[in-house]
Amino acid sequence: MKTKKKNILHYPQLDTVLMVEEFIKEYGGEFKKRSLWEHLPKKTMYQTFCVIFDYLLESNKIAI
């Protein structure tokens, strides 16, 4: 898989990354990507969620 180069102005905080990772591990099979974002315990911007989601996919911490 090739890494896509994105212009990211702000990287998410570690606690946000961990929160998203734990939520996806717990509820990953129940929701689609947008629905996962809508049901997160703490609100985040969708762009931030997408950066985290892409990172977790590329680091093989989650799978589709």
Average pLDDT, 10 consecutive residues per value, the chain (64 residues): 69 96 90 93 95 95 86
Place of tokens 């998203």: 20
Rounded to whole angstroms, the Cα distance separating 39 from 46 reads: 12
Note the pLDDT of residue 2. 58
Residues in the chain: 64
In a domain, 45, yes or no: yes
In a domain, 4, yes or no: no
Note the pLDDT of residue 63. 85
In a domain, 1, yes or no: no
In a domain, 2, yes or no: no
In a domain, 19, yes or no: yes
State how many domains the chain has.
1
Q: Which domain holds residue 48?
A: 14-58
In a domain, 37, yes or no: yes
